[in-house]
Structures are given as C-alpha cells and as structure tokens.
Amino acid sequence: MLSPIYTPSFLLKKFPPTKILVAEVDPLRDNGIYLGLNLKRAGVDTELYYFKEYIHNFLQFDDVTFGIPEYQNAHEITISAFKQLLQFHE
C-alpha cells in the first residue's frame, strides 16, 4: 500500500519532526490529516496546519496571492519547516 496513512506505527516512530499543511479543497486533505494524527499517536513531534477555503497547490500561486496575510502565513510555515529540516541534518 502506498498511502502513508496505512504505515505501521513502528515505522512512523522513526519519522523526523513533521509539519503538514492541509488545504480544505484538496483531494489529498484527508490523507494529510490522517497522517498527521497517526504521527502524533506514534509520538512524533508533528504540527498539522489546516487552511480553510484553500485549494491544492495554493503555495504555487504567488503572483495571485502575494500580500494576502493568510497565504503569507502558509509560506512562512513552509520556509520555517525547510530551515528546520536543514538544521536537523547538519
């Protein structure tokens, strides 16, 4: 099975700290939510962000969303996650 929501907890426990951004209008929304909940249950430091009324790939619409505070917040969360990931692997 390829879906991460079916990953056994003994494997989930090996995940690094995780941030998941979920858009309300996204075919992958439920998988993201379930993965976040399963990671938390497995004891992984997990932050799950839910963006109401957002669509899949909303982070790619910079030219349309630039300056809108909610979208800026999502970008800042993503940038912070990448910075933490780079520090995690140093």
Q: Please give the Cα distance from 70 to 26 (Å, whole number).
A: 17
How many Å apart are CA 43 and CA 18, to the nearest integer? 11
pLDDT of residue 88: 62
Which residues are bridge partners to 50 per DSSP? Answer: 22
pLDDT at 78 over 70: yes
CA 85 to chain centre: 13
Mean pLDDT of the 27-51 span: 93
Return the pLDDT at 66: 64
pLDDT at position 62? 67
Residues sharing a CB contact under 8 Å with residue 10, sequence separation 6 or more, in sequence order:
none
